[in-house]
Amino acid sequence: MNNNTKQIVLDKRYLRMAEIWAENSYCVRRRVGALIVREQMIISDGFNGTPAGFENVCEDEDGKTKPYVLHAEANAITKVARSNNSSEGATLYVTASPCLECSKLIIQAGIKRVVYHELYRMSDGIDLLVRAGIECVHVPDLSE
Interface residues toward Zn ion, by CB under 5 A: 71, 99, 102
Give whole-number Cα distances, 95 to 3, 10, 22, 62, 107, in Å: 23, 15, 8, 26, 18
Q: In angstroms, what is the minimal distance from the CB of 76 to Zn ion?
A: 11
Structure-derived torsion over alpha carbons of residues 138, 14, 26, 136, reported in degrees to the nearest 10: -30
Q: In angstroms, what is the minimal distance from the CB of 34 to Zn ion?
A: 10
Complex with Zn ion: residue 8 or 104, whichever CB lies closer: 104
The residue annotated as part of the active site, out of 73, 88, 118, 144, is 73
Q: Are 125 and 97 in contact (CB under 8 A)?
A: yes
Complex with Zn ion: residue 37 or 72, whichever CB lies closer: 72
Angstrom distance (rounded) from CA 22 to CA 39: 23
Angstrom distance (rounded) from CA 76 to CA 79: 5
Strand partners, 118: 96
Catalytic (active site) residue 73: yes
Q: In angstroms, what is the minimal distance from the CB of 98 to Zn ion?
A: 5
Complex with Zn ion: residue 91 or 103, whichever CB lies closer: 103
Active site residues per annotation: 73
